[in-house]
Amino acid sequence: MVVRHVKYTLKSGKADEYFRLQKEYAARAADMDGVGPTNLFVDPNNPNTIFAYLEFENEEAAVAMQESALMKEYGAKLRPLIERWDLYKQYTSCDEKTLQPLFG
């Protein structure tokens, strides 16, 4: 499994447009082979700061999505909405484990 996560800050007043685009493109990306759902989180102290992660079955699926026409199209629409990129990381895992909650 490959996990990519990003953190970025949107330009002021661009959140509604961002979430509209994100919903559309995340749904289209999830239809690609080996691509899982996109998970979004918003910083409670700054609603313009977004943390997102996406799981892939393998490195090939991650590369295929990154190089796809879909991502090039999305990137061109997303770029003008971003004030700054704060983080872009990729992790590779040899297996997946379900963890138990710490409390409960």
Does residue 102 fall inside a structural domain? no
pLDDT grade for 92, boundaries at 50, 70 and 90: confident
* Confidence at residue 99, expressed as pLDDT on a 0 to 100 scale: 67
First to last CA, the chain: 28
pLDDT grade for 64, boundaries at 50, 70 and 90: very high
One DSSP character per residue, 19-43 reads HHHHHHHHHHHHTSTTEEEEEEEEE
- Does the model's pTM come out above 0.75? yes
Phi, psi of 7, rounded to the nearest 5 degrees: -135, 130
Does residue 23 fall inside a structural domain? yes
Does residue 79 fall inside a structural domain? yes
| CATH value at residue 63 | 3.30.70.100
Q: Which of 46, 48, 39, 45 is nearest to 15 (CA)?
A: 48
Total number of domains constituting the chain: 1
Domain of residue 15 covers 2-92
Query: pLDDT tens digits, residue range 15-60?
Result: 999 999 999 999 999 899 999 989 999 999 999 999 999 999 999 9
Distance CA 81, CA 12 (A): 9
